[in-house]
């Protein structure tokens, strides 16, 4: 009887909590993301032509190579496209990396707009040649169209138009663009060192990363401004198994390849990393809740009740969302014997890890090393960097970005977002407390798929909004 009473009381409590959450959900006013770019064919066409020219100037960067001459050629093109920027702003070139300084009425709240010049290689069969810059089907096609010559074009154009109107910014503005972002090179650190030498401490840095994402989570239709507020850390790690080798006709148990396979299977099926929802991710769900269908609105609007459930199911329903709540490890490279009939004396598997703040670099590496030791594997960290400091989502700088989103893209909600990839923005944390990752262009599924892949493109219709965002952000940075 006592057991039945306890079960009944528990069931009653659960029903009460569910009822309370349903009532609370009913008070969440449903919203619809109605933002779509307003037709502006003249501006969109002119901007697309500039972006097309920038794509045609091939700027693939190669790790460790001095490619300054290639990027100087790209700089000459930029001078043709944006003559006022080059005539009226102070230009600094550092080994192909660019920094423009626009003196404002005050130096109290410097603003840094940044986007990289370099692109990744373009392999495979493309619908439009990767460096053609073709304008077709309402899109600009080519490597760098979305990552990230679109935003580079947009802030140069925004400053070009402000200069044409005679505008003088209230605070100093810097345009920063490295040529080594795609391989995490030393380009951006050189630009940061230059600003540090000048004693510049930016109030806000705005780089690529997030964007206006179409349907950021399945079941939430529309365009949403997803503003990256921190980056996960990352590491490349190699796990190696060794043995005496031998002929494959007389295999010994627990060979290097078998031990590696057991290790990989164990990590894939029994994660060693703890799931926890950062405050920035919780804020993202709360922002998106009013725009979701009722079941998702019920869950996202009541994290006080459904947080444990979300932590369990998110990795199953969305790889992107799942990566925001835990450290991840992705096995990417394998090596072993050079012949089918030879047992390897050494075999290895390499992985890319991404660290979450609640389980950072040191703890995550220690956990994966301990799991590897269980299978007799050696662990070698090839390179590693911890997560970046989050920008305060309740602070003035983040509010400024959200307000500019609201002004520029009516009906488009601005939401915090966790960057699972890496950008140059992390280098600016040495001199700036407010670093956001947001490119003001629309990324639908096609654009997301094309980044670093085939048929990269960007929709022409979103380019005027991108220019307007940067122009509005410069104008809005007025407080002293």
- Give the model's pLDDT for residue 8: 58
Confidence of residue 421 (pLDDT cuts 50, 70, 90): confident
- Give the model's pLDDT for residue 146: 96
Average confidence (pLDDT) over 403-429: 94
3-state secondary structure the chain: CHHHHHHHHHHHHHHHHHHHHHHHHHCCCCCCCCCCCCCCHHHHHHHHHHHHHHHHCCCECCCCCCCHHHHHHHHHHHHHHCHHHHHHCEEEEECCEEEEEECCCEEEEEEEEECCCCECCCCCCCCCCCCCCCEECCEEECCCCCCCHHHHHHHHHHHHHHHHCCCCCCEEEEEEECCCHHHCCCHHHHHHHHHHHHCCCCCEEEEEEEEEEECCCCCCCCEEEEEEEEECEEEEEEEEEECCCEECCCCCCCCHHHHHHHHHHHHHHCCCCCCCCCHHHHHHHHHHHHHCCHHHHHHHCCHHHHHHHHHHHHHHHCHHHHHCCCCEEEEEEEECCCCCCEECCEEEEEEEEEEECCECHHHHHHHHHHHHHCCCCEEEEEEEECCCCCCCCCCHHHHHHHHHHHHHCCCCCEEEEEECCCCHHHHHHHCCCCEEEEEEEEECHHHHHHCCCCCCEEEHHHHHHHHHHHHHHHHHCCCC
Q: Picking from 63-67, 243-247, 362-366, 393-397, which range would have the lowest pLDDT averaged per residue?
A: 243-247
What global pTM score does this model have? 0.92
Confidence of residue 357 (pLDDT cuts 50, 70, 90): very high
d(CA 451, CA 459): 14
- The residue that leads in pLDDT, 93 or 12, is 93
- Give the model's pLDDT for residue 34: 87
d(CA 200, CA 106): 12
Average confidence (pLDDT) over 39-59: 97
Query: Could you give the percent of the chain with pLDDT greater than 70?
Result: 97
- Give the model's pLDDT for residue 381: 97
CA dihedral (128, 132, 138, 139) in degrees, to 10, reads 90
Structure tokens at 411: 């009906």
Confidence of residue 202 (pLDDT cuts 50, 70, 90): very high
- pLDDT of 6 > 80? The answer is no
Average confidence (pLDDT) over 455-464: 97
> What angle is formed at CA 435 by the lines to CA 358 and CA 106, rounded to 5 degrees?
150
The answer to whether 347 and 335 are in contact (CB under 8 A) is: yes
The answer to whether 303 and 277 are in contact (CB under 8 A) is: yes
- pLDDT of 1 > 70? The answer is no
Q: Give me the domains of the chain, ranges plus CATH numbers.
A: 41-230+388-476 (3.40.630.10), 233-385 (3.30.70.360)
pLDDT tens per residue across span 159-198: 999 999 999 999 999 999 999 999 999 999 999 999 999 9
Confidence of residue 20 (pLDDT cuts 50, 70, 90): confident
Round the average pLDDT of the chain to a whole number and report it. 93
Average confidence (pLDDT) over 120-136: 96
- pLDDT of 150 > 90? The answer is yes
d(CA 98, CA 113): 12
Confidence of residue 332 (pLDDT cuts 50, 70, 90): very high
- Give the model's pLDDT for residue 15: 78
Confidence of residue 9 (pLDDT cuts 50, 70, 90): low
- pLDDT of 10 > 90? The answer is no
pLDDT tens per residue across span 295-313: 899 999 999 999 999 999 8
- pLDDT of 379 > 90? The answer is yes
- Give the model's pLDDT for residue 12: 67
d(CA 175, CA 74): 16
| Active site positions, annotated | 118, 181
- Give the model's pLDDT for residue 318: 79
């Amino acid at each position: 009887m006592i057991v039945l009473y306890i079960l009944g009381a528990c069931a009653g409590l659960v029903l009460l909590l569910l009822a309370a959450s349903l009532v609370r959900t009913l008070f969440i006013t449903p919203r619809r993301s109605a933002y779509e770019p307003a037709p502006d064919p003249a501006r969109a066409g002119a901007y697309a032509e500039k972006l097309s020219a920038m794509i045609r100037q091939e700027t693939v960067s190669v790790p460790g190579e001095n490619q300054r001459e290639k990027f100087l050629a790209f700089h000459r093109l930029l001078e043709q496209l944006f003559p006022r920027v080059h005539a009226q702003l102070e230009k600094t070139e550092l080994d192909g990396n660019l920094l423009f300084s626009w003196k404002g009425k005050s130096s109290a709240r410097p603003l840094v707009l940044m986007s990289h010049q370099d692109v990744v290689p373009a392999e495979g069969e493309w619908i439009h040649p990767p460096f053609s810059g073709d304008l077709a089907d309402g899109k600009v096609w080519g490597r760098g169209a979305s990552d990230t010559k679109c935003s580079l074009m947009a802030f140069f154009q925004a400053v070009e138009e402000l200069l044409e109107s005679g505008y003088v910014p209230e605070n100093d503005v810097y345009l920063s663009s490295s040529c080594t972002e795609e391989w995490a090179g030393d380009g951006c650190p050189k630009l940061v060192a230059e600003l540090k030498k000048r004693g510049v401490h930016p109030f806000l840095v705005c780089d690529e990363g997030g964007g206006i994402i179409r349907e950021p989570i399945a079941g939430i239709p529309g365009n949403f401004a997803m503003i990256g507020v921190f980056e996960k850390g990352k590491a490349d790690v190699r796990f190696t198994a060794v043995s005496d080798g031998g002929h494959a006709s007389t295999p010994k148990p627990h060979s290097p390849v078998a031990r590696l396979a057991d290790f990989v299977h164990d990590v894939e099926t029994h994660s060693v990393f703890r799931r926890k929802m950062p405050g920035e991710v919780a804020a993202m769900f709360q922002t998106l809740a009013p725009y979701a269908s009722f079941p998702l609105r019920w869950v996202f609007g009541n994290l006080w009740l459904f947080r444990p459930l979300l932590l369990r199911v998110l990795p199953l329903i969305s790889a992107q969302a799942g990566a925001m709540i835990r450290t991840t490890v992705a096995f990417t490279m394998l090596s072993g014997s050079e012949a089918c009939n030879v047992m390897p004396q050494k075999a290895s598997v390499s992985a890319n890890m991404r660290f979450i703040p609640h389980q950072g670099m040191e703890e995550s590496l220690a956990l994966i090393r301990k799991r590897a030791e269980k299978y007799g594997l050696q662990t070698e960290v090839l390179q590693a960097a911890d997560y970046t400091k989050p920008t305060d989502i309740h602070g003035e700088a983040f509010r400024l970005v959200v307000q500019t989103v609201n002004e520029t893209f009516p009906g488009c909600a601005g939401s915090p977002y966790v960057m699972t990839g890496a950008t140059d923005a992390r280098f600016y944390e040495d001199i700036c407390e407010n670093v956001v990752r947001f490119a003001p262009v629309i990324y639908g599924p096609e654009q997301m798929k094309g980044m670093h892949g085939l048929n990269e493109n960007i929709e022409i219709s979103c380019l005027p909004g991108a220019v307007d965002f940067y122009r509005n952000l410069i104008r809005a940075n007025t407080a002293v």
